[in-house]
Amino acid sequence: MKLFFNAWPAPPPILPRKGGGAASRSMLDRCTRTGLAPSPLRGGLGWGGVRRGLAALALLLLAIPAFAQPIPYHADPDAREILPNLQPVPAIRFLTTADFPPFNFRDTNGELIGFNIDLARRICIEVNVACTIQAWPWDQAANALADSQGDALIAGLAMSPENGESFDFSAIYLALPGRFVTRAAAIDGFRPEAAGRVAVRAGSAHEDFLARYLPGLERVGFEDELAALEAMRTGSVDAFFGDAMRAAFWLNDNLACCGFAGEAYFRPRLFGEGLAIAVPAGNDPVRHAIDWALVRLKANGALDELYLRWFPVGFY
């Protein structure tokens, strides 16, 4: 098996490409420009303190027993029957960033770790090719991929029409649902249509969801998710509805009081498609190899293992 993990030197700066500057990963920006849900780990909206602590939290999570549920199937399971032609893919050069915990970041020793890093390595093992992982600054990463500095970008690049002009995307490997959170006593027997007063970030896609699908609920808007969750915790409202991954990080510190209630709601048009791996447009051999590996990793349990390791409070 050919498998190599290299620590590359810091990349040189890349000048903005003609027709626009470097791409922006902020899912909060995506929410404004493309209607996708905001990132659970990017941007403001009251999550500055949470974001600063995520790297330390992610390291602690490695020692916590997991009790989350497996990842639902996001890819077509029939794809496992299609063995990719690996002749044109002697190696996969993954690009990422080092500022997106718990997906891709550096530990206290400066080593790249995270869910995305582990996933990239498992993909290479599954298809039995050499593998390198190189971290770039976010504002240069998409241009680096477009300039053939790598074969795939695993860092949360938005699946937007704009990015679709330059890149193709793998199958979704992690969807971002919306979920209700309630106090512990209300979890059993929870019925969303009878949730009462529900806290939600004002103007968000999750507020739109409630207005469209559960119009009978009393929606109470808050400036950010932290304030909405705290209102639920203190009893000012009966429930919270919002991004499940954001809520899972909050629940890491509040499991004694609260938990997810009801089912997970997947609405890509409202909440975003989820996380996928970008490849240069037309690089079908690499994309097919990644898709094939993702289905295999789900089928053999490795993808669930990574999810349970990095997200002990599951959001599905």
57 and 169 both lie in a single domain: yes
256 and 304 both lie in a single domain: no
Q: With a cut of 70, which residues of the chain have pLDDT below it?
A: 1-87
267 and 214 both lie in a single domain: yes
Question: Of 258, 316, 276, 246, nearest to 28 (Cα)?
Answer: 246
234 assigned to some structural domain = yes
Q: Cis omega (within 30 of 0) on the bond before 102?
A: yes
The reported pLDDT for the residue numbered 203 is 97
Domain of residue 148 covers: 27-174+273-310
160 and 282 both lie in a single domain: yes
Residue type, 251: L
Number of compact structural domains in the chain: 2
6 assigned to some structural domain = no
Three-class DSSP category at 55:
helix
118 and 200 both lie in a single domain: no
17 assigned to some structural domain = no
Q: What is the pTM of this model?
A: 0.74
The reported pLDDT for the residue numbered 88 is 79
243 assigned to some structural domain = yes
11 assigned to some structural domain = no
As a whole number of angstroms, the distance between CA 186 and CA 239 comes to 9
The torsion angles phi and psi of 121, rounded to 5 degrees, stand at: -65, -40
As a whole number of angstroms, the distance between CA 177 and CA 241 comes to 11
207 assigned to some structural domain = yes
The reported pLDDT for the residue numbered 72 is 64
The reported pLDDT for the residue numbered 312 is 84
The reported pLDDT for the residue numbered 155 is 96
CATH of the domain at 209: 3.40.190.10
68 and 126 both lie in a single domain: yes
20 assigned to some structural domain = no
| 34 burial level (CB within 10 Å; 0-12, 13-18, 19+) | middle
The reported pLDDT for the residue numbered 76 is 56
The reported pLDDT for the residue numbered 70 is 62
198 and 286 both lie in a single domain: no
119 and 159 both lie in a single domain: yes
The torsion angles phi and psi of 242, rounded to 5 degrees, stand at: 180, -165
Three-class DSSP category at 286:
helix
CA 295 to centroid of chain Cα atoms:
17
